[in-house]
Structure 1
Amino acid sequence: MKTRAVSSMILFSWFLIAAGVAQEATPSTSSGTAPTFQYKFRPDQQERYQVVVELNGNLPIPGAAGAAGQLKLILGISMKVTKVEEQQATVQTALEEFNAEFNGSPFPASLDMAKSVIPDSTATVTPRGKLGGLQGGGGLMGAPLPGFDPRNLATLLFPLELPDVPLTNGATWQFTRAFGEGANALRVPITARFEGVEEVDGVKLLKISETFSLPIELYQDAFYQPVSDKEQATHVMRGEMKGNGVIYLDPEAGVLQKLTLNASLSQTREPIKKDGSEVKEYERESTQLTLALNAARKASAPPSAATENKGN
C-alpha cells in the first residue's frame, strides 16, 4: 500500500511548468539574415527524447498533502507523426522508459504503473507550434499541470508558439498555453525571447529563453478535486507558480533539440468557512516545491541498425 501511495505521488507530483517551441520550414541562420523556424513533419516521423525531472519539497499527493522529499524521474519519451495535413500534423506521444528515485533510493515503480498516469496521447500541432485536440488520456490524477502535463506530453515536446516573422536578437513575444481540459484548464501566460544562434556540438541551433508567472486560485471539494461551482467547494487553493527555461531548436531538422526548465510552486489550501468563522492556522496546508527539468533529443538510429533490429 505504501509503495502504491508513493507511486501515485510520483506521477502526480509533477507540478510543473513551462513550455515552448514550434515550427516547420528550413530557416536561414547565415550571418546578417534573421532566422525563422517552423516544425517539419513527415509521415511516420519518429523522435525520441531523454527527460530528467527533479522535484524537491512538499510533493502534492492527494490525501497526503505536504509529504516532503526529493523525487527524480528519468523518462524515455517518443513522438510519432501519424498524419500530415496542409496546416497541421497529428502526433502521438508515449512513455517508453521509466525509472525513479525517491530520497536517493531506487523507487520500485513499473513502466505499466507509470503509464497509468502518463498515458499515450495525441494532439495536433501547426508548423508554428500551436497545439490542439489535447486529450486527458484517462490519467489517474485530474489536476492540470502548467507547462508539463504528463497526460499530454506534446506540451513538453512542442512547448512554444513562435511568431510568423523572422527572429532578431532580443526580440520578445507573448502567448498563452492551456494545460488541462475544459473549464479547469490552467492558462499560462508565457514571455519568450530570442537569444540568437548558438553552435552546439557543431550544429547551429536557435536559442530561446522563456519566463512565466501564474497566480493560482482553485476551488476544490474535500477530496482535492476541482469544482466549477464555488458554492459547492469546501476548500480553496491559492498560490503562485513561476519559472524560466531555455529552449534550443534545430532549424534544419525542424525539431526541438533540447530544453532546460526551472520552476517553483508555492500554495496554501484552506477550508471555506461558510459560517464566517476564522480559519485556524492548523487548518491550512502549505506546500513549497521546486522543479528542474532537462530534456534532450536522442540521436536517430542509422537505417541499417533499424533494419537489423526488425530482423532479430
Structure 2
Amino acid sequence: MISPALTRDELRALAAAGGAAPSLHNSQPWRFRPSADLRRLEVYADYRRAVPVTDPDGRALHISIGAALFNLRVAAVHFGRAPVLRLQPGHPGRQPIAELDLAEGRQAGPEPFGRDLYPAVFLRHSSREPFANRDVPEAVLGELLDAAHTEGTVMTALEEAEVRRVLDLTAEAEARIAADVARQTETRTWLRPEAPAVDGIPAAAFGPQDHDARVPMRSFTGRPPAPAVLAPPPTRRFEALPQLATLTTHGDRAADWLRAGQAMERVWLLATLHGLRVSVLHQAVEWPDTRRLLRDPEQGPGHVQLVLRFGYGPPGATTPRRPVDEILDLPADPGAAQGM
C-alpha cells in the first residue's frame, strides 16, 4: 500500500526522533533531508561535528548515526509507515550515508520491534550515576541480547572475571585519556557548563566519580580539572560489580558501525521501557590496543564496538538537543511563499 507524501509535521517529528539519539560528547553529527517526492528521508553525516582526535576513523560518528537511524525507523512505524533502510556508507559529505524509504504504509500485524519503542525515544538518557546492587533479571537480559542479534550484532553479558578485566582496560584507557593534552583540549570544546546550549555536555550530565575507584567513569573536566572549566566532580560509591555487556560485529567497516549503532539504540530503548538505566564505557574502544584486548578470544572472531553498563538507578540528566530546523533540510513551503 503506497502511503501519501510525508507532511511537514511528520518530517519534523521524524527528525526530532532521529536527533534524540546518543552521540559521542553529544556532538549530534547528522542531518536529514527528504526526497523531492517526500516519501524518502536521506541521512547525512555532518563531518563538521566530528570529534577527530578521539574518533580519528569516524567509527563513533557512524555509531551515533546508526542510533539516529534506528530512532527514525521506530518513529516511522509510529506514524504508520513500513520503513525500508538502505545503508550507503563510504560517501563523504554531499552523499547520503543512508536512505529511509517511507513510501509503504504499515500493514496490520505484530509490532515489528516486539513492542512499541517510540515512547522510549525521548525518555532515554545516559546515566553516569551509581546503580543499585540489583541484578537485571535473566528474562530481561535475554530480550536485550535478542534485540542486538536482530540488528546483526552480538551482545555478550559479561561474567565476573570478564567484568573485572574490562574494567581494568577501561581504567587504563581513562588514565591515558586524562594524560593526553590534545584529547582533553578537544573534550573541553564540547563542555557546556553554562546553560542554555543545543549540544555538548552540560555540567549536570558529567556525573560523579566512583569513590572506591572500581568503576572508571570518564572525567570530562580532566585530572586535575582545568580551573577555567569546573571544580572536580563529586565522588559517590558505585555498585560493587557493575553489569557490563560488549556489543560486537563480525566486520569493522562503516556499515558495521552503522549496524552497531542501530543495535545499541534498540537495546537501549528496550532497556528504558524495562526501567533500566544505561551508560557507555567508551574509553577502552578509543585506543586500538585496548580495544583489541576487549574481545574475549573464547567468543570467537569479532570487533568490540561498545561496552555498555546496565543497572537500576537514577535516569541521568538530560542533554541539550539541536533545534529541528538545524538538522532537517525542509523544502520551501509553497504556501508560505505565496503569503498563505
Please, what TM-score do these two structures have when normalized by structure 1?
Answer: 0.23
Bigger relative CO (Cα 8 Å, ≥ 6 apart): 2
Query: Quick check: which one's strand share is greater?
Result: 1
